Amino acid sequence: MRRGDPAAMDEPNSPTPDGRRLLLAPAGEAWSWRLTTPGGESIAGLAPDCAAARRSAAFAVFVVQALERTRQRWF
């Protein structure tokens, strides 16, 4: 399969260092990304290309980690 082929998966459920799972896949003329936490919660979105999907997922990880730290401090 070639890159950009709708049936090809870029990184099917690649684990991140903190136990999250990342899925990147072509979605028509865009790329979809889904980040799943060890607890089963997921965050997803669309991006214009694979590199932008990776950056979006990385930003989502940063935001989720910041919210987790805030929750631990205040609750």
pTM given for the model: 0.68
Q: Is residue 49 part of a domain?
A: yes
Give the helix ranges, DSSP H, for the chain.
50-74
Q: Is residue 3 part of a domain?
A: no
Q: Is residue 5 part of a domain?
A: no
Q: Is residue 61 part of a domain?
A: yes
Q: Is residue 6 part of a domain?
A: no
Q: Is residue 2 part of a domain?
A: no
Instruction: Read off the DSSP letter of residue 3.
Output: T
Q: Which of 66, 24, 62 is nearest to 45 (CA)?
A: 24
What string of pLDDT tens digits covers the 75 residues of the chain? Answer: 234 444 344 445 555 667 788 889 999 999 999 988 888 888 999 999 999 999 998 898 888 888 888 888 865
State the total domains in the chain: 1
- Asked if residues 36 and 42 have their Cβ atoms less than 8 Å apart, the reply is yes
The residue segments making up the domain with residue 64 are 11-74
